[in-house]
């Protein structure tokens, strides 16, 4: 593979996969794989990378997202609302609520009218933890993105926003 000026380009790991598919099926357009594959690979690498600030605070990213949903909305949420806010399954949210309750970061309150319903709220310790971790986590994420200049970050953000908006409309409906 070469650039427009003839210099060799090694590419990312997906470039090798695409070259292999093109060798097997030279008549097939691998363009979609080059985009979706890179998005999936990037997401997998980001999920595998341990978020150092979260790890130091004893949190996983899904736990932090649940705490963050409670903090940013500023009010109690039901487990179903938390599942929608964090794009998680109900079972996963239930497990996280149990763990975070045991650690004193959230409280569970029953509904006076419907005993099957629960309302989850941050404790003061949970709020303090989110407020302490958020700046460090954003700094960590800023470092991850530092290989892209500000204009590149803005372009990537705009492209991803358009792509996500399209996917939510086509596949998942708009977020509530």
What percent of the chain is predicted at pLDDT more than 90?
70
CA pair distance 30, 41, nearest whole angstrom: 16
Instruction: Give me the mean pLDDT over the 79-102 stretch.
Output: 95
Q: Give whole-number Cα distances, 97 to 70, 86, 93, 109, in Å.
A: 12, 13, 6, 12
Q: At which residue do the structure tokens 């149990």 appear?
A: 98
CA pair distance 89, 69, nearest whole angstrom: 15
Q: What is the pTM of this model?
A: 0.77
pLDDT band at 6 (very low <50, low <70, confident <90, very high): very low
DSSP for 146-163 reads TTS-HHHHHHHHHHHHHH
Position 1 pLDDT exceeds 70 = no
């Amino acid at each position: 593979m070469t650039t427009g000026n003839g210099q060799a380009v090694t590419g990312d790991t997906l470039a090798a996969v695409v070259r292999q598919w093109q060798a097997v099926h030279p008549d097939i357009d691998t363009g979609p794989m080059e985009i979706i594959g890179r998005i999936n690979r990037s997401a997998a690498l980001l999920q595998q990378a341990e978020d150092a600030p979260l790890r130091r605070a004893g949190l996983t990213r899904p736990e932090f997202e649940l705490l963050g949903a409670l903090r940013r909305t500023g009010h109690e949420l039901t487990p179903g609302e938390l599942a929608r806010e964090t794009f998680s399954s109900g079972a996963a949210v239930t497990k996280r609520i149990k763990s975070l309750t045991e650690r004193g970061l959230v409280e569970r309150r029953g509904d006076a009218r419907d005993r099957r319903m629960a309302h989850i709220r941050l404790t003061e310790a949970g709020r303090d933890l989110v407020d302490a971790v958020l700046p460090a986590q954003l700094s960590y994420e800023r470092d991850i993105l530092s290989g892209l200049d500000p204009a590149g970050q803005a372009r990537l953000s705009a492209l991803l926003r358009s792509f996500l908006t399209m996917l939510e409309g086509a596949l998942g409906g708009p977020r509530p």
